[in-house]
A and B are shown apart, each in its own frame.
Chain A
Amino acid sequence: MAQDPHSSYELTDSDTRWIEQMEMKIGRIGRADGSCQVKLGGNNVICAVYGPREVYPRHLQDSLKAIVQCKYNLAPFSSQERKRPGPDRRSTEISRILGEALEEVMFVQRYPKTSIDIYFEVMEASIGIRWLSLVAASMALVDAGIPIKELASGCSVVVDGSGPSIEPPSELSPEQTLVEVGTLGDSDKFIMFQVDGGLSQDDMSQTMDVAQAGSKMVYDMQKEMIRGHFAQLSESDEEVGQ
């Protein structure tokens, strides 16, 4: 693994093996302007983007910028116990967090009086669903051709007595702490940061290093995926042209 400029942590083999399993598929939802499905471990999320388009309901319109409307929704069969369909407090919170993180990567001032709608349908949820949703959304924005400053990347780290690990356990025990971050590309800027559990200050800085090293690898995979996708598109366009 190449040394990350911002981080003192080098990913272990098990870290890289875990992240490498991440699957991304661009353009699954034909009706949407852009879409991407991301799977890793027990997570499976589909994100689709519509916009910039007319704001509905009208009174939400902002004359200075585009509004970002995010809706994160869990399928009833996405967890061990069936969940009642429809929004709840948790999904409303996550919608909010993702929307605010994504607004940070977009040029919303360029599209006043419009709405950029980002929908997440979670087919299966486990540890790390928030950062994976963020990754899916930034790929969907690229697919939609909406300019962004940088891809949103991310990573989750589980910390317990034996130190931080990127590969999560199948279920969190009370002694374990989950850190989920969203980063602005491979920079050291966080656009999402959530910790649930307990961390000492030393643990905290070490965990941030691990998360950043992970995000960097995720970022490289995203770039490669996008290159591959557009290379394929241009090939099929050429075929049509002939």
Chain B
Amino acid sequence: MNGGEISSLNRSFLLGLLDDGRRSDGRTLEESRPLTMSTNVVSTAEASVEINLGNTLAIAGLKVSKGAPYPDRPSEGVLNVNIELCPMASPDFELGPLKPDAIELSRTIERGLHDANVIDLNGLCIEEGEMVWVVYIDIYALNFDGNLQDAGFLACLKLLSEIEGRQDEVFGEGSSNIIDLSARPISVTMLKIDEHILMDPSDEEESTGSARMTVTVDSEDNVRTVHKSKGGQFDGDDVIRCVRMAKVVAQQRRDQMF
């Protein structure tokens, strides 16, 4: 996400701190911001969650409805993740149709969920070629302070875990194995500024940094997805360092979520 612009004064202040291994909010480079979640915040959704990752605030809701499958995948249901960058979330967000930023975010989150096999799309098929379950997850970013990637992913995971125990109720009898969160995948996003790698970047840091990396790790410490975004470069050592950092934070978040 290209948040806002940052003054060169502020930028050099941030860079100066980083050289001492510090950040403007007092965190170490490897440290994530506090994560809090509360569920059942919207009664019209099948499941809902309000998530705070530092000052980043989002509300997400899950709804299911019946619809037609994609013509090239007649026996698969659909998982649709949509992230909305509300204009209230930041002075830099504007009104209008989805920006490429938001689409990239939605897609990465969707891929992260698919690659960890948390949802069995074949199980969502009602009648091949005719009708399937469509699972919609809509994420509303209400206050933006960086790293919507993780906030969005963790919100999705929480929503799915909310309906994991009552799948028969949501998708009808005999559909208890559609959602399977046993892999416990967690997405962790890091940012590279000069030679430094920063865990869970804030908006200010995202506006300063050059390259971003999202790693999804499962409970066996296997890497499920990697997504590099924005310009900049990572060398092999950087990638290994990111994965190592991601495992630590993923475990913390996993302990908190499950």
Contact = CB atoms under 8 A, between A and B. Distances in A.
Contact of A85 (B55, B62, B82): B82
Nearest to A126: B44
Given A77-B62, A82-B63, A123-B41, A29 B87 contact: no
Interface string B57-75: 1010111010000000000
A50 to B, nearest CB: 6
Interface majority SS (helix, strand, loop, mixed), chain B? mixed
Contacts of A125: 44
Contacts of A75: 42, 59, 61, 84, 138, 140
B172 interface: no
B91 A50 contact: yes
Contacts of B42: 44, 75, 77-78, 123-124
Nearest to B64: A82
Contact of B89 (A31, A77, A124): A31
Contacts of B88: 29, 31-32, 35, 46, 48, 50, 119, 121
B97 A86 contact: yes
Contacts of B41: 44, 123
A46 B41 CA distance: 13
Interface in A146-202: none
A236 interface: no
Interface residues on A, range: 20 to 34
A30 B55 contact: yes
Given A32-B88, A119-B86, A77 B48 contact: yes
Interface residues of B, number: 31
A79 interface: yes
B153 interface: no
A73 interface: yes
Most A CB contacts (10 A, CB to CB) among B44, B59, B61, B144 go to B44
B57 A124 contact: no
B45 interface: yes
Given A29-B57, A71-B95, A80-B44, A85 B143 contact: no
Interface in A34-51: 35, 42, 44, 46, 48, 50
Nearest to B86: A121
Contact of A30 (B61, B63, B140, B145): B145
B90 interface: yes
B199 to A, nearest CB: 21
Given A117-B87, A119-B87, A29 B143 contact: yes
Interface string B128-146: 0000000010101011110
A46 B89 CA distance: 11
B43 interface: yes
B236 to A, nearest CB: 37
Interface string A64-97: 0000000101011111111001100000000000
Contact of B136 (A73, A82, A117): A82
The 4 closest A-B pairs by CB, nearest first: A77-B61, A48-B88, A77-B45, A119-B88
17 contacts: A28-B143, A30-B57, A31-B88, A31-B91, A32-B88, A44-B41, A48-B142, A50-B88, A50-B91, A76-B61, A76-B82, A79-B44, A82-B136, A117-B87, A119-B86, A121-B88, A124-B43
Given A71-B95, A75-B138, A85-B84, 6 more contacts: A76-B136, A77-B62, A117-B87, A121-B140, A123-B41, A123-B59
